[in-house]
């Protein structure tokens, strides 16, 4: 019975998270399209056959579809959900209809509409993070070294208890959490850490090592029972937590900074996977995200909402990758159009969408298999 309940929590929390994020993303496209005079034919949560829907006064069909793994907005003049132009249909439009068609809008308007989806995901995440900072404050533990573990990379680099970390590779460090983040995304990569010691600055060279994650003498395992391995240098911080209270403006700005940090470090991690210095096992697909959603939901509503913010940032980032079929692919085509002074040949665009489809499907299969292999059967 417990396993059934756990499965229900995982599934509902995942589908709920996905529905919210897809709605936010597509609403970004929708609202900017409406502001630019584009008629929206369909606003769909999910793909495939319609399960339920209604049509509003402006002719937009709002619906839930059978396959709940995404969604789309179909503009007037689109041939399909990927927003490829209906070449034959566009040629027969009247002048009045052309004013409502997406593909007859200015390049700047089309780019703004496409960019609005990922932007909505980033703004949504910022608002969630800022709300938590405003209501609960922001943890701001000083980046002080309390203990240096024997035999670790930090000891070899010359760290001493009492060192105050002020920068890593030239980037300012204000919180111990910021230092932890830099270490986490630097496995196998040499870091130059500037510390303050007895009032004087000193640069230390250290390379984080992948080791078992241990808390209070207990080895930490993931939801599948596998030992968690994390990049570490062998220091601890036992400073008292400092909670910084925020006004609404400062909370919003702190939300922007936190979101920027997450994006920067995520891109850094992706680069490491591409060059081979980080394992691709860190990539998660639908199954892995569902497990994370379920785990956060079991911890409480606050954890689940914070996880929504993190996934929203990931969704915004992924959609901006210059891959045809994704928003970034459309923006790439628009960049060529801006340079050439005309749209790319339709055959080239069609070929690009086919390549993008193969790539996205291949990536989905890869990350799903990755998730399955990580499950402890």
In angstroms, the CA 20 to CA 70 distance is 10
The two three-digit tokens of residue 95, written as one number = 């002048």
**Residue 274 CB-density burial (10 A; 0-12 exposed, 13-18 middle, 19+ buried):** exposed
| 204-208 contacts, C-beta under 8 A, 24 or more apart | 204/157, 204/158, 204/159, 205/157, 206/153, 206/154, 206/156, 206/157, 206/159, 206/233, 207/153, 208/153, 208/183, 208/184, 208/232, 208/233
In angstroms, the CA 84 to CA 78 distance is 6
Alpha-carbon dihedral 19, 24, 25, 31, rounded to 10 degrees: 130
Render the burial of 83-94: b for 16+ CB within 10 Å, e for the rest: bbbbeeebeebe
Supply the residues annotated as catalytic. 26
In the block, residue with structure tokens 């960019």: 115
The alpha carbon of residue 231 and the mean position of all alpha carbons in its chain are separated, in whole angstroms, by 21
Render the burial of 28-54: b for 16+ CB within 10 Å, e for the rest: bbbebbeebebbbebbbbbeeeeeeee
DSSP one-letter string for 284-295: --HHHHHHHHHH
DSSP E strands in the chain: the ranges are: 40-55, 61-75, 138-139, 147-148, 164-168, 171-172, 191-197, 200-206, 209-212, 214-215, 218-219, 229-232, 235-236, 243-244
Question: Are 327 and 319 in contact, with CB atoms under 8 Å apart?
Answer: yes
């Amino acid at each position: 019975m417990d396993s059934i309940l756990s499965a229900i929590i995982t599934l509902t929390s995942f589908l709920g998270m996905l529905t919210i994020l897809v709605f936010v993303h597509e609403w970004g496209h929708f609202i900017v399209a409406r502001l630019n005079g584009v008629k929206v034919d369909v606003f769909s949560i999910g793909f495939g056959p319609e399960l339920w829907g209604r049509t509003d006064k402006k002719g937009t069909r709002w619906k839930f579809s059978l396959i709940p793994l995404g969604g789309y907005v179909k503009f007037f003049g689109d041939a399909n959900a990927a927003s490829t132009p209906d070449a034959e249909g566009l040629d027969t439009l009247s002048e009045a209809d052309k004013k409502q068609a997406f593909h007859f809008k200015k390049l700047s308007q089309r780019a703004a509409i496409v960019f609005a989806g990922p932007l909505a995901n980033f703004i949504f995440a910022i608002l969630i993070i800022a709300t938590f900072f405003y209501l609960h404050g922001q943890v701001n533990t000083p980046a002080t070294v309390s203990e240096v573990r024997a035999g670790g990379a930090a000891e070899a680099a010359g760290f001493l208890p009492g060192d105050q970390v002020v920068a890593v590779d030239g980037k300012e460090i204000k919180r111990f959490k910021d230092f932890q983040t830099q270490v986490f995304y630097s496995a196998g990569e040499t870091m130059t850490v500037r510390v303050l010691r007895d009032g004087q600055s000193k640069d230390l060279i250290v390379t984080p090592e992948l080791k078992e994650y241990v808390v209070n003498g207990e080895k930490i395992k993931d939801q599948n029972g596998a030992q968690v391995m994390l990049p570490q240098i062998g220091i601890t911080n036992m400073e008292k937590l400092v909670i910084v209270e925020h006004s609404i403006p400062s909370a919003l700005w702190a939300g922007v900074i936190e979101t920027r940090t997450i994006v920067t470090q995520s891109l850094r991690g992706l680069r490491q996977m591409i060059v081979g210095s980080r394992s691709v096992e860190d990539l998660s697909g639908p199954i892995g995200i569902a497990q994370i959603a379920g785990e956060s939901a079991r911890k409480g509503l606050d954890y689940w909402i914070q996880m929504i913010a993190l996934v929203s940032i990931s969704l915004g980032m992924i959609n901006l990758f210059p891959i045809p079929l994704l928003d970034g692919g459309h923006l790439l085509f628009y960049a060529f159009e801006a340079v050439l002074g005309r749209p790319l040949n339709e055959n080239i665009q069609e070929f690009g969408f086919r390549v993008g489809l193969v790539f996205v499907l291949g990536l989905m299969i890869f990350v799903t298999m990755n998730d399955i292999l990580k499950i402890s059967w």
